[in-house]
Amino acid sequence: MKTVSNFMRAMLAIVWKDLAAEWRSRELISAMLVFALLVIFIFNFALELTPQTRSDVTSGILWVTLTFAGTLGLNRSMAVEKDRGCLDGLLLAPVDRTAIYFGKTLANFVFMLLVAAIILPVYSVLYNTNLLLGGLLLVILLGAWGYVSIGTLLASMAVQARTRDILLPILLFPVTVPLVVAAVKASSGYLKALDMVEINPWINLLIVFDLVFTAIAFLVFDSVVEE
């Protein structure tokens, strides 16, 4: 199983490279964080967040914030790759292309989780609601993975177009609608402590989405980066 361990090593090397680079500069995470916090603040003034309405819109606000911050992170992460020519270097290496894809996706996944890890307590404090629930964390894991799995693929295409910054959200949002709908409804279900019977369809949809799009990205990524 040498190819599997090579694959894993390549993938982890890329994750490590991205995380280490980010740790040194911290520019990506700080941008995503500041942006996310600003969005939460704006929502407070844009919507009437009285205690009654709050329970309905909290999960919506959470996911809008996460997806917008996530898009920011995806854009930056691939743009840096391209501008510094790292991508070309990576492609010259004798590594399975899909290891590169999974490495980048995992790194983006970690960044998105980091953002979530900070905004959940912040939101809980600002609005006096406890967001640190196990079920909610599960939804965030599933939702964030689905988002970055398709987002990394689309970002690697968008970054090569002239209209790169605006193009990624335009490509990403229509195809991630099922993911966002499911994530919002599932989060809302956990927050309102609904019966599992009502939450299960959404969790299932999230899992299906994750599997389908990870598989597609796995099959197709090669065609995106070949030159």
Tokens representing 48? 């009437």
Angstrom distance (rounded) from CA 189 to CA 210 = 20
The conformational region for residue 26 under phi > 0 = left, psi -120 to 50 = alpha, else beta, is left
- Site residues for another protein, 131-150, by CB under 8 A, read 150
To another protein, the closest distance from the beta carbon of 157 in angstroms equals 5
Tell me which stretch binds another protein (CB under 8 A): 12-20, 33-41, 116-124, 199-207. 199-207
Which of 32/217 has CB closer to another protein? 217
To another protein, the closest distance from the beta carbon of 1 in angstroms equals 28
Q: Which long-range contacts (CB under 8 A, 24 or more apart) does 48-52 make?
A: 49/127
Which of 115/158 has CB closer to another protein? 158
Which of 38/208 has CB closer to another protein? 208
Distance (Å) of CA 117 to CA 49, 53, 83, 205: 22, 24, 29, 23
Which of 31/225 has CB closer to another protein? 225
Angstrom distance (rounded) from CA 111 to CA 18 = 10
Check residue 216 for interaction with another protein (CB under 8 A): yes
Tokens representing 203? 């969790």
Residues contributing to the site for another protein (CB under 8 A): 150, 153-154, 157-158, 160-164, 167, 170-171, 173-178, 181-182, 185, 198, 201-202, 205, 208-209, 212-213, 216, 220, 223-224, 226
